[in-house]
A and B are shown apart, each in its own frame.
Chain A
Amino acid sequence: MNTQTEIKGRSLWFDARRRFFQNKAAVGGLVALTIIVLISFIGPYFAVWSNEEIDWDVMGSAATLGMPSFANGHFFGTDDLGRDLYSRVLQGTRVSLLVGVIGAGISVLVGTVYGTVAGYVGGRTDQIMMRIVDILMSIPFMFVIILLLVVFGRSLTMLFVGIGMLSWLDMSRIVRGQTLTLKNKEFVEAARATGVSTPTIIRRHIVPNLLGIVAIYATLLVPAMILTESFISFLGLGVQEPLTSWGALISEGAGTIRYDTEWQLLFPLAFFVVTLFSFFFIGDGLRDALDPKDR
């Protein structure tokens, strides 16, 4: 008789998932974010106008004719040039989310590697590596990114390079701190005693234990990167037409607000605000779910 049923262990991630889904704000943020991502990718199939097309009937009289309406297919209204705001907002959403995700991705890759190596190797290497981070951190990056964009021409690639340079600094500091505490734990000592090589220890024992904190900060970095990009685009120095992004759209809406076309500001702003809120709530939820300190 085999009555023994398999006992399933409750892993850290299982526990974390349960705690995360009990957090209403975090779940709400996740739902809102999913909806926004879906809209930005599926929404274009319902668009009547493309983001570059100009509605000549509306052009020049956006304040009276360009209001949001279903009748003429401009669900979010149009801008001053008669371009459909619905298509433009969706397109801007994709660009802004992409910037955020790529920025956070770079920070995860570079920051984790840099931080674990500095923390695990320690000694003089650590000192030098962290001094470099210190130095880079006190450079006013917003100005350097703009300088970069002006010198090498405005393009998405250059924007990613600029944002990538800045995003990994904080992450590498956090990861290093965490690695310093991990490397003195017994299981690392055991691995070292049994002759596991340093790269393998880092890969198999250190990095998996860092994933929680990396996930939290990556989630919080996405809105930070979106804010950076929006700031630059707001100044008209970011992505170039016909591509657009939230910052560029908000800037346009802000510029034309004097002509009673508030929908030009409010639609991109709503997407921007909801997304940032979602990321903050998800990040907070992850922190509560994964941070062992608060248990």
Chain B
Amino acid sequence: MLKYTFRRVLVAIPTLLILIIISFLLMHAAPGGPFTSERPLPPQVLANIEAKYGLDNPLYVQLWEYMRGIVIEFDFGPSFQRKDRTVNEIMAQGFPITFTYGGLSFVAATLIGGTLGIVAAIRQNTIIDYFAVGVSIGAQVLPNFVMAPLLVWLFTLTLGWLPGGGWNGGAWQNLIMPVIALSTSYMASISRITRSSMLEVLNSNYIRTARAKGLPERTVILRHALKPSLVPLISYLGVAFVGMITGSVVIDIYFSTGGMGQAFVNSALNRDYSVMMGITILVGALTIVFALLADLLYAWVDPKIRY
């Protein structure tokens, strides 16, 4: 286990470094420097500004400084468009919001999807099962950017129950639609995964033994079937987490929740490369860490995994 953990971490580190290098080189391949504008600056002024941001150094020095800043001081440098702010400040403003509704969606998708899948498997070929299967097929074609406008149409424009956007300090009225929009398709996948793994477990020999020795159905399911049937879910949770962080871009844009996604798209539209890079790298780091945790958890829970 320790050796496996060590090896897994050893893969994660170069991944992160490669991500930083790719985004750094992409930014430098962009035509025009960050301070090129319609009214050209006097050469001396431009040279001064570039010296201030360290842009007059050779490329590898800049890359080294950038990586050192991120890894050692967790400093993503200044924003190139909004000169009074650093990338850290912009990210610190957006991430808590993203994590609030992203985390809620994650929990909702796992709980509802998991329950639906388990119940569907226990009551296979009943109306509940068909409902669960129908929902999970339907939700495949309802990604967050389709769910969001449909929800607004229903709850805001037709029924008038919920505000159509805004954050409002995270009031529950403002949270409902983002959470539903973000979690639906993942809920569907989770219920599909749990349903099929639960069915597999319920058809296995040791469950037949448990039933044969006269255990009540309740005990069979809660004590014997539940835990192993949740194992395949672990590796999907990493994927779901990444999907929610990515999906938050749509949520932020459509509901104006002001999270990290809004900062990302704004910086994309303003060509504020340092903010884009910062967010990409931070999301990448989270992705890598989450995949790592999921793998380690999987190896720990499932003794069949050989490492």
Contacting residue for B141 out of A236, A254, A265, A277, CB 8 A: A277
What residues on A are CB-neighbors of B242 within 8 Å? 140
What residues on A are CB-neighbors of B283 within 8 Å? 140, 143
What residues on A are CB-neighbors of B27 within 8 Å? 147, 151
A235 & B26 in contact (Cβ 8 Å cutoff): no
A235 & B22 in contact (Cβ 8 Å cutoff): no
Contacting residue for B279 out of A143, A234, A251, CB 8 A: A143
Interface presence of B47 (CB below 8 A): no
Give the residues from 19 to 52 in chain B that come closer than 8 angstroms, CB to CB, to chain A: 19, 22-23, 26-27, 29-30
Type the 1/0 row for A236-274, where 1 means its CB is closer than 8 Å to any CB of B: 110000000001001101100110001001000100110
Interface presence of A197 (CB below 8 A): no
A257 & B153 in contact (Cβ 8 Å cutoff): yes
B249 & A139 in contact (Cβ 8 Å cutoff): no
When C-beta atoms are compared, the residue in chain A nearest to B286 turns out to be A140
Count A interface residues, CB 8 Å.
38
A150 & B149 in contact (Cβ 8 Å cutoff): no
When C-beta atoms are compared, the residue in chain B nearest to A253 turns out to be B149
A144 & B280 in contact (Cβ 8 Å cutoff): yes
Among A134, A140, A144, max chain B CB count under 10 A is at A140
Type the 1/0 row for B261-283, where 1 means its CB is closer than 8 Å to any CB of A: 00011001101010011011001
B249 & A254 in contact (Cβ 8 Å cutoff): no
B141 & A142 in contact (Cβ 8 Å cutoff): no
- Report the minimal beta-carbon distance from A141 to chain B, rounded to whole angstroms: 9
- Report the minimal beta-carbon distance from B223 to chain A, rounded to whole angstroms: 31
Q: Which of B10-18, B54-62, B70-78, B92-100 forms part of the interface with chain A?
A: B10-18
B143 & A235 in contact (Cβ 8 Å cutoff): no
Give the residues from 237 to 292 in chain B that come closer than 8 angstroms, CB to CB, to chain A: 242, 245-246, 249-250, 253-254, 264-265, 268-269, 271, 273, 276-277, 279-280, 283-284, 287-288, 291
B291 & A138 in contact (Cβ 8 Å cutoff): yes
A139 & B15 in contact (Cβ 8 Å cutoff): yes
Contacting residue for A235 out of B11, B146, B148, B250, CB 8 A: B250
B250 & A135 in contact (Cβ 8 Å cutoff): no
| Given A150-B268, A151-B29, A235-B249, residue A140 in contact with residue B148 (CB < 8 A) | no
B277 & A147 in contact (Cβ 8 Å cutoff): yes
Interface presence of A276 (CB below 8 A): yes
Interface presence of A75 (CB below 8 A): no
What residues on A are CB-neighbors of B102 within 8 Å? none
Give the residues from 135 to 170 in chain B that come closer than 8 angstroms, CB to CB, to chain A: 137, 140-143, 145-146, 148-149, 152-153, 157, 164
A235 & B265 in contact (Cβ 8 Å cutoff): yes
What residues on A are CB-neighbors of B140 within 8 Å? 276-277, 280
What residues on A are CB-neighbors of B253 within 8 Å? 234-235
Complex Cα gap A143–B277 (Å): 9
Interface presence of A204 (CB below 8 A): no
Give the residues from 211 to 230 in chain B that come closer than 8 angstroms, CB to CB, to chain A: none
Give the residues from 70 to 128 in chain A that come closer than 8 angstroms, CB to CB, to chain B: none
When C-beta atoms are compared, the residue in chain B nearest to A141 turns out to be B246
What residues on B are CB-neighbors of A280 within 8 Å? 137, 140-141
Interface presence of A21 (CB below 8 A): no
A257 & B284 in contact (Cβ 8 Å cutoff): no
Contacting residue for B146 out of A144, A236, A269, CB 8 A: A269
A258 & B284 in contact (Cβ 8 Å cutoff): no
What residues on B are CB-neighbors of A265 within 8 Å? 149, 153
A237 & B141 in contact (Cβ 8 Å cutoff): no
A140 & B280 in contact (Cβ 8 Å cutoff): yes
Contacting residue for A231 out of B145, B276, B279, CB 8 A: B145
Interface presence of A148 (CB below 8 A): yes
What residues on B are CB-neighbors of A207 within 8 Å? none
| Given A138-B288, A140-B246, residue A250 in contact with residue B11 (CB < 8 A) | no
What residues on A are CB-neighbors of B250 within 8 Å? 231, 234-235
Complex Cα gap A4–B7 (Å): 65
Interface presence of A131 (CB below 8 A): yes
What residues on B are CB-neighbors of A144 within 8 Å? 22-23, 26, 280
A143 & B15 in contact (Cβ 8 Å cutoff): no
Complex Cα gap A236–B265 (Å): 9
A135 & B11 in contact (Cβ 8 Å cutoff): yes
What residues on A are CB-neighbors of B249 within 8 Å? 142, 235
B145 & A142 in contact (Cβ 8 Å cutoff): no
B15 & A138 in contact (Cβ 8 Å cutoff): yes
- Report the minimal beta-carbon distance from A272 to chain B, rounded to whole angstroms: 7
24 pairs, CB–CB < 8 Å, chain A vs chain B:
A135-B15, A138-B287, A138-B288, A138-B291, A139-B18, A139-B22, A139-B287, A142-B246, A143-B264, A143-B276, A143-B280, A147-B26, A150-B276, A151-B273, A235-B250, A247-B145, A251-B145, A253-B149, A254-B254, A262-B153, A265-B153, A273-B146, A276-B140, A277-B140
Known: A147-B27, A273-B146. 11 other contacts (CB 8 A): A135-B11, A135-B15, A139-B19, A144-B280, A146-B268, A146-B276, A149-B268, A227-B143, A235-B249, A254-B145, A262-B153
